[in-house]
Amino acid sequence: MSVLVFVEGFNGEIKKSSLEAATYGYQVAQQLGTTATAVAIGEVHEDALAKLGEQGISKVLYDADSRLNNFVADAYVKVIAKAAQQENAKVLVFSNSNIGAAVGAKLAVRLNGSLATNVTTLPKTDGGFIVTRSVFSGKAFAEVNLTSDVKIIAVKKNALEIANAGSGAATVEKFSADLTDADFAAAPKETIMQDTSGGVLLTEAEIVVSGGRGLKGPENWHLVEDLAKALGAATACSKPVADLDWRPHHEHVGQTGIAVSPNLYIAIGISGAIQHLAGVNSSKVIVVINKDPEAPFFKAADYGIVGDAFDVVPKLIEAARALDK
Amino acid sequence: MKILVCISNVPDTTSKINFTGDNKSFDKNGVQFVINPWDEYALTRAIELKEAKGGTVTVLNVGEADAEPNIRKALAIGADDAIRVNADPKDAFFVAQQIAAIAKQNNYDMILMGKESIDYNGSQVHNMVGEMLGIPSIVPASKLDLVDDSTARLEREIEGGKEVVEVKLPFVASAQQPMSEPRIPNMRGIMTARTKPLQVVEPVGGEVKADYVSFSKPEKKGGVKMIDAENAGELITLLRNEAKVL
């Protein structure tokens, strides 16, 4: 038996969240006294795959079929299921991305496995297989015992540090699951990529700079963007800002938007409604900048500045630009 | 057009989350329950499609009797009838099994639900249902339109962008903003909802694959450190040297 990790590429490189999944997979393999194999699909550089050895992955099964460059659930499931069978994998590890969670759920049905998404800890394996998952929109944790023979885990982003196991390069083996046209029946007709500010994906970002109604209008968003650029951060916004069409909906973080868990979340002109907190409360460090000292967000913050964004943010941009990288 | 909309009954977004019985179960005491906000996007889109093209919208909940006020609310918003599978929704696999069983009996053209529930945040049920029924599941979908009587066109959010997907009916899709603008039931809707059919059925299967053992709450933050706006640049120094996140 072994542990199988699914790694996702973005622009040919392996996503940070997948390096976290690889770390998790290796650590579970260590616990169970076995090895961790990765499976990769579509457009990923082979040297990036070999470097997964740093996270302790010994072997990578790589299906380079170009039809897999876009996510097609049925085809992905077939490839990963075949890899799981070949490797006799009893633990399958994904990152908790749209793709990872989707494929994980379908595999749970196909392989008759137990699934936990949003997982934040390694399993406790004395008397079961118990993982902790984030629930109630970050307001609580649940311990879940995965009782089936096959366990499928989607690891919450930024929940664990990427480890360097220090092993050599992973061997990369070509892999194919004999896909047919039927597997691509629900393939996308068209893919429209956003202009991701400076190439930083919001859900993968280590730093997020977010703006609210306190910025008074979309014409002032250069404050958010310039600070984000100086820090190498992604930009985000609150729900009212998306509802007012100041910013696109895919930037909306909160209970009914995207949940993020970066190392640093900087909120500018956001009062901190409980629904907004639900989307950002897993951030490691929260900074709140608001001119209202009574803004509820300060209660959830690690650092706060009471002041006008138009005053404060330019000072932050200046200080951030002065940092030696 | 026959549309099934699956709704879950969840604590209101502003609820304080507490646990009872040695932290083994969620404390419902004093908690207001609502239709899962994500499911509301699915429900209103289903009603819009029905209004445009004709057909029926059936609401399905896997839950106990205390979910009925919110099932009635969904009927008041405009669904035609409802089914409640009378069971404690123990895990995603169990819930998906119930939905798939109902779907197999009724030949729905589409099965819609929210992209996740705001209580257990699993984001699992839609894809499991699609897999159990052998039909496509488009998750998460931010737009849903019918191209003709047998084809739908959806937009799916992906990291860094979106995809346009065309699928043959039937299919499963999960909703997120901006698929629709949720509605508030009007007085006429509330009155007619009282007499709309709500069928209660018993569950199938019963296997639990993800057994919830206990709950806990995150540690409280240590308190906020305030920085004077005049010396705002000091924040960047603290983030680097003290918090070590830069």
Query: Which CATH number is A172's domain given?
Result: 3.40.50.620
CA–CA dist A123, A121 (Å, integer): 6
Across residues A51-73, what is the average pLDDT?
Answer: 94
Give the residue from chain B lying closest to A150, CA to CA: B209
A31 and A123 in a single domain? The answer is yes
Give the residue from chain B lying closest to A306, CA to CA: B229
Of B11, B118, B123, the CB nearest to A101: B123
Domain range for A242 is 197-322
Is residue B237 in a domain? no
Give the residue from chain B lying closest to A194, CA to CA: B161
A44 and A110 in a single domain? The answer is yes
Is residue B100 in a domain? yes
Is residue A192 in a domain? no
Of A148, A256, A308, the CB nearest to B177: A256
Other beta carbons within 10 Å of B216? 12
Of A70, A141, A278, the CB nearest to B216: A141
A38 and A175 in a single domain? The answer is yes
Measure in Å the smallest separation between the Cα of B89 and chain A Cα atoms: 15
- pLDDT recorded at residue A195: 64
Q: Give per-residue pLDDT as tens, B226-235.
A: 999 999 999 9
> Does residue B178 have a cis bond before it (omega within 30 degrees)?
yes
Is residue B142 in a domain? yes
DSSP letters for B179-225: S----PPPHHHHHHHTTS-EEEE-------SEEEEEEE-PPPP--PE
pLDDT score of B158 more than 90 = no
Which span out of A186-190, A191-195, A199-203, B19-23 was modeled with the highest average pLDDT?
B19-23
A39 and A119 in a single domain? The answer is yes
Number of Cβ pairs < 8 A linking chain A and chain B? 252
Is residue B243 in a domain? no
A-interface mutation test, from B124, B155, B211, B213, most A Cβ less than 10 A away? B124
Q: Do B124 and A144 touch (CB under 8 A)?
A: no
Give the residue from chain A lying closest to B125, CA to CA: A105
Report residue A199's pLDDT band, with 50, 70 and 90 as the boundaries: low
A175 and A233 in a single domain? The answer is no
Nearest to A234 by CA among A210, A218, A270: A210
A165 and A234 in a single domain? The answer is no
Point out the least confidently predicted range of B12-16, B48-52, B113-117, B145-149.
B12-16
Q: Do A264 and B239 touch (CB under 8 A)?
A: yes
Measure in Å the smallest separation between the Cα of A33 and chain B Cα atoms: 24
A207 and A171 in a single domain? The answer is no
Is residue B29 in a domain? yes
Q: What is the 3-state secondary structure (H, E, C) of B232-244?
A: CCHHHHHHHHCCC
Of A136, A191, A264, the CB nearest to B17: A136
CA–CA dist B46, B55 (Å, integer): 10
Q: What tokens does A220 get?
A: 């002032």
Is residue B173 in a domain? yes
Boundary-marking domain end, from A131, A152, A184: A184
B9 beta partners: B35
pLDDT score of A197 more than 60 = no
Q: Give per-residue pLDDT as tens, A200-246.
A: 889 899 999 999 999 999 999 999 999 999 999 999 999 999 999 99
**Order of strands across the sheet that contains B171-175:** A188-193, B161-168, B151-158, B137-148, B171-175, B110-114, B2-6, B56-63, B81-86, B198-201
Instruction: Check if the interface score ipTM surpasses 0.90.
Output: yes
Domain range for B105 is 2-218
Q: Do A303 and B120 touch (CB under 8 A)?
A: no
Q: Do B240 and A323 touch (CB under 8 A)?
A: yes
Number of folded domains that form chain B: 1
CA–CA dist B89, B91 (Å, integer): 6
Number of folded domains that form chain A: 2
CA–CA dist A284, B187 (Å, integer): 46
R_g of chain B, CA atoms, integer Å: 21
Report residue A198's pLDDT band, with 50, 70 and 90 as the boundaries: low
A-interface mutation test, from B27, B32, B120, B121, most A Cβ less than 10 A away? B121
Q: Give per-residue pLDDT as tens, A133-177.
A: 999 999 999 999 999 999 999 999 999 999 888 778 999 999 999
Q: Do A231 and B118 touch (CB under 8 A)?
A: no
- pLDDT recorded at residue B74: 98
Boundary-marking domain end, from A132, A160, A184: A184
DSSP letters for B129-171: HHHHHTS-EEEEEEEEEEEETTEEEEEEEETTEEEEEEEESSE
Q: Give the residue carrying structure tokens 């960047």.
A: B236
CA–CA dist B38, B116 (Å, integer): 7
Q: What tokens does A218 get?
A: 């979309």
A100 and A223 in a single domain? The answer is no
Is residue A110 in a domain? yes
CA–CA dist A234, A236 (Å, integer): 7
Q: Do A242 and B177 touch (CB under 8 A)?
A: yes
CB contact set of A63 (below 8 Å; sequence gap of 6+): A39, A40, A41, A42, A79, A174, A175, A176, A177
A16 and A149 in a single domain? The answer is yes
pLDDT score of B159 more than 90 = no
A55 and A178 in a single domain? The answer is yes
Query: Which CATH number is B64's domain given?
Result: 3.40.50.620
Report residue B121's pLDDT band, with 50, 70 and 90 as the boundaries: very high
Of A281, A318, A323, the CB nearest to B246: A323
φ, ψ (nearest 5 deg) of residue A5? -115, 130
A46 and A177 in a single domain? The answer is yes
Query: Which CATH number is A218's domain given?
Result: 3.40.50.1220
- Chain centroid to CA B221: how far? 30
Q: How many residues does the structure list for chain B?
A: 246
- pLDDT recorded at residue B221: 80
Could you tell me the sign of the dihedral formed by the alpha carbons of A207, A202, A265, A309, in that order?
A: positive
Across residues A88-94, what is the average pLDDT?
Answer: 98
B-interface mutation test, from A8, A70, A126, A136, most B Cβ less than 10 A away? A136
Report residue A96's pLDDT band, with 50, 70 and 90 as the boundaries: very high
Point out the least confidently predicted range of A120-124, A212-216, A260-264, B14-18.
B14-18
Q: Do B92 and A319 touch (CB under 8 A)?
A: no
pLDDT score of A180 more than 70 = yes
Is residue A39 in a domain? yes
Q: Which residue has the higher pLDDT, A185 or A18?
A: A18
